[in-house]
Amino acid sequence: MKQFFYLSLIVFGMNSCQDDPSGNPPDDSLPLGDPVETLPANTDYQPAFPGQTRVGSVKTLTEFKTEEIAVNIGRPWAITKMPNGNLLVTDKSGFMQVFSETGAFLSIIEGFPSVDDSGQGGLLDVELDPDFENNRMIYWTFSESFGSGTLTSVAKARLSLDEKSIENPTVIYRATPSYNGNYHYGSRLVFDANGHLFVSTGERSDMGIRSQAQLVDSGLGKIFRIDKTGQAVADNPFISTQGALPEIYSYGHRNPQGLAIHPETKHLWQTEFGPRGGDELNLIQAGKNYGWPIISYGLEYNGQKVGEGLTQKEGMEQPTYYWDPSVSPSGMDFYSGNALPEWQNNLFIGCLSGQHIVRLVLKNNRVVGEERLLSDKMERFRDVLAQHPNQSIYTVTDSGKIYRISKK
């Protein structure tokens, strides 16, 4: 609770992040309760501005129901919707499955390139081509054995009409260098309104390699923006920087497993894991440095400070929001339906160690309220789909379940 009480004492503006000029504290018009986090923080670090952590809680007033619609489906990592409402789910072991919106198993999709599914690797995220109804192309990320180690790769293929196989799988991008480890692949995908593909990559975790998150000639700890062939988009921020990878959109990331585009503002939002504390929600801007491993609101797993113990540094972006202790934020999505109007444009984040789904209310690019959902399920929530045509929210868990959340 210490950090929460510090908020009224902090002068806003030190190394302020994002494009929001208001600097507004949490929204007084919302009925806010005590922060949802009641455990002590790992550190005495003070937030950089009001509402950056442990904001007041909100509670959903509309009645909703939670249904366990599929169990024992394997090792799911990502879930997305298909044009007919069916659910496409990836499995770390190297295949995908199709389920109906009520959870009925429909088919297994095979034929994918080999994956290294040790540790945090495997067949990870999936996105449908914006023109899928005409070209049936899908894109996915996976941990690929390459050179002397593994790396995060992006591939595409055409999904067969019977949805049991893929045709002509092609790797379109590899986030080099490869590394002999099996952690922090990042791997989330999202298409923007122009048909460009954002890709997140992790910095591979280990002390000797993670500093490459700060290097623009390395593919580790980055968010890329590429076209459908894997080439850099022409107006990327480092397109003309000598020695830099032209695909880079932002850098200084640890292990970003959440990407989502706001349905109205079209801003790109991202979550990434901190170490012990310091999990982050970031508003991603072109060319910006998000600080890892130079600044962090967390500690090393052994309890020591990260680097010099800095939380702010000139030229490095502050997270819009952070969690300490960790909740391990993974896949996320914005709710765009109107079945539950109070959820409209709210951000829903699946949490692993936190074993709940975070609901964040945003205003002027700030977090103004937080709620924890499904904490009674005691599940590690891996990914969230919140823009389904039937206005339900779907989530997959590490235990191999699909849950559906909908209005009663």
Write the pLDDT tens digit of every residue in 11-53. 333 333 443 323 344 555 778 999 999 999 999 999 999 999 9
Please pick, among 184, 253, 356, 388, the residue that the annotation labels catalytic.
Answer: 184
Instruction: State residue 146's pLDDT score.
Output: 97
Instruction: State residue 27's pLDDT score.
Output: 58
Measured distance CA(254)–CA(205) in Å, rounded? 8
Active site residue 262: no
Residue 406 pLDDT > 70: yes
Domain membership flag for residue 165: yes
Lowest mean pLDDT among 6-20, 39-53, 196-210, 258-272: 6-20
Q: Facing residues of 370 across strands?
A: 57, 360
Torsion-angle region of 287 (φ positive above 0: left; ψ -120 to 50: alpha; else: beta): left
Instruction: State residue 16's pLDDT score.
Output: 38
Across the chain, what does the average pLDDT equal? Answer: 93
Residues 170-178: what's their mean pLDDT? 98
Instruction: State residue 30's pLDDT score.
Output: 79
Distance of CA 239 to the CA centre of its chain: 25
Q: Using alpha carbons, select from 215, 335, 204 the residue that is nearest to residue 273.
A: 204
Order of strands, sheet of 268-273, starting from the edge strand that comes earlier in the sequence:
255-261, 268-273, 279-284, 321-323
Residue 3 pLDDT > 90: no
Domain membership flag for residue 21: no
Q: Report how far apart, in Å, the C-alpha atoms of 204 and of each of 117, 148, 212, 256 are.
A: 15, 14, 9, 11
What confidence tens digit (pLDDT) does each residue in 338-380 have? 999 999 999 999 999 999 999 999 999 999 999 999 999 999 9
Q: What H or E segment, with its residue span, contains residue 285?
A: none
Domain membership flag for residue 50: yes
What confidence tens digit (pLDDT) does each residue in 291-337 have? 999 999 999 999 999 999 999 999 999 999 999 999 999 999 999 99
State the pTM of this model. Answer: 0.93
The structure tokens listed for 374 are 């499904």
- Do the Cβ atoms of 278 and 305 come closer than 8 Å? no
Domain membership flag for residue 20: no
Q: Using alpha carbons, select from 205, 247, 241 the residue that is nearest to residue 222.
A: 247
Half-sphere exposure of 356 (CA within 13 A, CB side): 15
Which residue type, as a one-letter code, is found at position 147? G
What confidence tens digit (pLDDT) does each residue in 384-394 have? 999 999 999 99
Measured distance CA(206)–CA(224) in Å, rounded? 21
The structure tokens listed for 336 are 């765009």
Instruction: State residue 20's pLDDT score.
Output: 38
Q: What H or E segment, with its residue span, contains residue 161?
A: none
Residue 117 pLDDT > 70: yes
Q: Give me the DSSP letters along 245-259.
A: -TTEEEE--SEEEEE
Measured distance CA(363)–CA(369) in Å, rounded? 9
Measured distance CA(378)–CA(361) in Å, rounded? 23
Domain membership flag for residue 386: yes
Instruction: State residue 257's pLDDT score.
Output: 98
DSSP-assigned letter for residue 211: G
Domain membership flag for residue 25: no
Residue 6 pLDDT > 80: no
By CB atoms closer than 10 A (0-12, 13-18, 19+), residue 176 is middle
Residues 6+ apart with CB under 8 A from 103: 67, 69, 70, 402, 404
Domain assignment of residue 95, given as a range:
31-407
Q: Using alpha carbons, select from 222, 220, 257 the residue that is nearest to residue 237.
A: 222
Domain membership flag for residue 26: no
Q: How many domains does the chain have?
A: 1
Q: Which residues of 84-118 are buried (b: 16+ CB within 10 A; e: fewer)?
A: eebbbbbbbebbbbbbebebeeeeebeebbebbbe
Domain membership flag for residue 4: no
CATH number at residue 151: 2.120.10.30
